[in-house]
C-alpha cells in the first residue's frame, strides 16, 4: 500500500496555520486516514468517498467531504517519494492548496 505511516505537513491557510499530521493506515486491505491539527479548536468531521492508487507513481488520489461543506467535494492528491510527500488539497472556496515538503515521522 502507498504512503502507509505518519506524515507531517506545514499548513498555512486562513483557517489554520501550523503543523498537521496525517496518518495513513492499512485497515484489512483498505486505507484508513486520521488527521490531527494541534491547536485547531475543533477538527471538522470528514468522510472518504473514494481512494485511487497509482503504484507506479506512488500517488494517492482521495476524494471525500465534510458536513461543513454540504454537497461539495474535497480532493487530495499526494505523491510519496521515500520519506517525502508532495501534492495538493483542492477545497471548495479555497482552491488548490499545495502540499510541499511533507515528511514521514513514523
Count helices and strands in the chain by DSSP H and E runs: 0, 8
What's the pTM? 0.88
Q: What are the C-alpha distances in Å from 21 to residues 38, 49, 93, 106? A: 9, 21, 23, 10
Along the 106 residues of the chain, how does pLDDT read in single tens digits?
A: 999 999 999 888 777 888 899 999 999 999 999 999 888 878 788 999 999 999 999 999 999 999 888 999 999 999 999 999 999 999 998 889 888 889 999 9
First vs last Cα of the chain: how many Å apart? 15
85 HSE (CA, 13 A, CB side): 28
Amino acid at each position: 500500500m502507498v504512503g502507509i505511516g505518519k506524515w507531517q505537513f506545514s499548513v498555512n491557510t486562513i483557517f489554520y496555520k501550523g503543523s498537521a499530521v496525517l496518518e495513513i493506515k492499512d485497515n484489512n486491505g483498505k486505507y484508513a486516514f486520521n488527521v490531527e491539527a494541534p491547536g485547531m479548536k475543533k477538527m471538522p468531521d470528514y468522510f472518504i468517498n473514494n481512494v485511487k492508487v497509482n503504484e507506479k507513481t506512488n500517488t494517492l488520489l482521495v476524494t471525500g467531504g465534510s458536513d461543513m461543506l454540504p454537497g461539495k467535494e474535497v480532493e487530495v492528491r499526494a505523491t510519496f517519494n521515500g520519506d517525502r510527500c508532495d501534492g495538493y488539497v483542492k477545497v471548495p472556496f479555497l482552491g488548490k492548496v499545495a502540499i510541499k515538503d511533507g515528511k514521514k515521522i513514523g
